[in-house]
A and B are shown apart, each in its own frame.
Chain A
Amino acid sequence: MDITPDQIVYWRWGAATLNATIVWTWVVMAVLAVGSWAITRGLTAHEGMGRGQNILEGIVSLIERQIRDVSDQDPQPYLAFVGTLFLFISLSNVLGIVPGYHPPTGSLSTTAALALCVFVAVPVFGIRRQGLRRYLGQYLQPSIVMLPFTIIGELSRTLALAVRLFGNVMSGTVIAALLLGVAPLIFPVIAQMFGLLIGVIQAYIFAILAMVYIASATRAHAGPDGSDASTQKDGHAHG
């Protein structure tokens, strides 16, 4: 039994391999892209909008609301990144009910890639919002002694992101395969249902944690007077 779909290789050319992780990722991407294109073709801002538009607007509104709740900021700059994380991981996990499907999130390569994206996105969003100097200054707060611990924290939480998602999805797949061998009638169905639930929950956790990390980077530390630096900046810019 393969622990990870990386081990299912369809084609190899030197170090480059076309494995199941990449192929099923493309399938998920195609489903998301084509589905979005098909639904957003006939969007309307007036009465009589379709069921697909209604569902998509509900999903996007939900993501925006979650981003706003976590970050207390305008969700628009983070919507594409965080939303894509959630949708990609969700669909990758939910499609697990399709026989023969190998979820890309069951590959540590995929979860590591997503965690690296988050690892890079956190300073990108932080610097874009606060500026390089102020962002780097956060690493020295409250004391320069904390710098190594802060860096370790950044790395470890990225590793935790990758391993958490990989472990959950991989374990779900493995448990389903084991149950299929032990009790092939009822229990695999129940395990699959739990797998769907866990897959969506894991997508939610991954996206929310990513947003929490981004929010912590974009939200400045409280100043001596207790005011928020980013808020002051915003207020100044708007004022």
Chain B
Amino acid sequence: MLTDWFTVVVQILNFLILVWLLRRLLYGPITRVMAERDARIQAEMAEARRLREEATAEGERHQALVATFESERDARLAAARDELEAWRHTHMQEVRAEVEGLRQRWQEALQQEKHAFLDDLRRRAGREILAVTRSALRELADVDVEARIVSRFLAELGGIPPADRDALAAAALADGGKVHLRTAFALPDTEQARVTEAVTAALGPGLTVTAETAADLVGGVELRAGGLKVAWSIDDYLTSLEEALTEAFGADQKAGDDGEAARPPAD
């Protein structure tokens, strides 16, 4: 007989005991730990999903912020560009006005310098012309230029119309009988006597002639009585010279202005 029923019963008990033992020592702990791990993994997965959703939402919010920022930046840049353009336009107008003002002042200064230069040139030219004339006349004709000037003045005095002469005499009498003689050079006594004689002959006796040297007169003689005067000088020649020079300066300046106007204005 291959089956021992006592052994069968004992083996049944042994197997049931083994089932109980393994349930307590193996299956229970192992399945519990596996369940814990599953729960932990599920929780971590849920947390990961939550974090991913949060990250997605945060990313979308960030993108919206970036879009808003970029649109605001573009708007501000456009506004700043417009403002800058307006500012530049305004200040260009101011700068142009200022440049125009400076240019006008420069033109005025240039005109003043030109007048001063011409005035100075006129005086220098007068002196030089007089000196040259004096030397030339003395060497060529043994003639004193101052004497010739006085003679020319006396001829001028003698040639004035009677009405003017009367007016001049009346002005001298109104001034206490004083007649002022101004010359550009020191008048010798002989010449002064000749002038006094000619004045007396022309305006009448009883007048006192006072002579003085005036530096502003260029090669000339001037007789003043009251508010009237009779004069002769080389001033007229110098005036012609000055007009010629002024005309030449004017032509140069006009050419310069035309050239400047032809250049395109700087923006």
Contact = CB atoms under 8 A, between A and B. Distances in A.
A116 interface: yes
B216 to A, nearest CB: 118
A43 B3 contact: no
B4 A19 contact: yes
Contacts of B9: 113
A164 to B, nearest CB: 14
B22 A33 contact: yes
A36 B15 contact: no
A19 B6 CA distance: 10
Nearest to A34: B25
A117 interface: yes
B160 interface: no
A83 B14 contact: no
Given A6-B4, A43-B30, A114 B11 contact: yes
B31 A76 contact: yes
B26 to A, nearest CB: 4
Contacts of B2: 3-4, 6, 108-109, 166
B27 to A, nearest CB: 5
A84 interface: yes
B30 A40 contact: yes
B57 interface: no
A88 interface: yes
Contacts of A33: 18, 21-22, 25
A194 B90 CA distance: 106
A108 B7 CA distance: 10
B33 to A, nearest CB: 5
Interface string A20-31: 011001100100
A76 to B, nearest CB: 7
A75 B14 CA distance: 23
Given A6-B2, A19-B4, A79-B27, A87 B22 contact: yes
B8 A112 contact: yes
A36 B26 CA distance: 5
B19 interface: yes
B12 interface: yes
Given A22-B11, A87-B22, A109-B7, A29 B30 contact: no
A37 B36 CA distance: 19
B4 A17 contact: yes
Nearest to A28: B18
A3 B22 CA distance: 30
A83 B21 CA distance: 12
Interface in A144-166: 166
A190 interface: no
Contact of A29 (B21, B27, B40): B21
A149 to B, nearest CB: 26
A84 B19 contact: yes
A142 B12 CA distance: 34
Nearest to A19: B7
B112 to A, nearest CB: 100
A43 B25 CA distance: 11
Interface in B14-54: 14-19, 21-23, 25-27, 29-31, 33-34, 36-37, 40
Contacts of B3: 6, 108-109, 112
Contact of B11 (A3, A25, A43, A57): A25
B11 A110 contact: yes
Contact of A116 (B8, B17, B30, B31): B8
B25 A80 contact: no
Contacts of A37: 25
Interface of A: 3-4, 6, 15-17, 19, 21-22, 25-26, 29, 32-33, 36-37, 40, 43-46, 53, 56-57, 60-61, 76, 79-81, 83-84, 87-88, 104, 107-110, 112-114, 116-117, 166
16 contacts: A21-B11, A29-B21, A36-B26, A43-B29, A53-B30, A60-B30, A60-B34, A61-B34, A80-B23, A84-B18, A109-B5, A109-B8, A113-B11, A116-B12, A117-B12, A166-B2
Shortest Cβ-Cβ A-B pairs, 3 listed: A113-B11, A109-B7, A45-B36
